[in-house]
Amino acid sequence: MEAEEGAEPTAGAEYVLHLYITGATPNSTRAVRNIKDICEQHLKGRYELLIVDIYQQPELAQREQLIGAPTLIKRSPGLVRRLVGDLSDRERVLRALGITPPAAADETRS
C-alpha cells in the first residue's frame, strides 16, 4: 500500500496488530472500538487488524502467554509491543504504536 502524500518514509510501513478479547464484555467491546478508531484516524489503509476471541480460540491465548485481556500486540513495524486494557488511553496506545499525533508533532516543532 502507498504512504499518504506528505508522510514520512517510515509512515508507509504496514502495521500488523492482533487484538485478543474475551467475548462481548464491555472492556472487549471498548477495546475493539478504540483500536478501530485509532487505526482509521492514524493508519488508514496501512494496517492489518486481527481480532481474536480467546474464549473461542484459547490455544492462541496460551501460545501468546497472555496475562490479561483485552491485549493488543503490535507485530510490526519495529519491536513487538503489548498493551493490556481497553485501549482508552489514546496517547499511550499511539506511543506504543510509534505514532506521533499531529497536535503533538506541531508542539515539538514550536
Considering the segment(s) 14-102 as one domain, its CATH architecture is: 3-Layer(aba) Sandwich (3.40)
The 47-53 sheet, strands edge to edge: 47-53, 15-21, 71-76, 81-84
pTM as predicted: 0.79
pLDDT digits (tens, 9 = 90+) for 12-66: 459 999 999 999 999 999 999 999 999 999 999 999 999 999 999 999 989 999 9
What contacts 89, CB < 8 A, 6 or more positions away? none
* Distance from C-alpha of 45 to C-alpha of 3, rounded to nearest angstrom: 9
* Distance from C-alpha of 61 to C-alpha of 108, rounded to nearest angstrom: 39
Higher pLDDT, 11 or 99: 99
Give residue limits of the domains in the chain: 14-102
Place of cell 498493551: 83
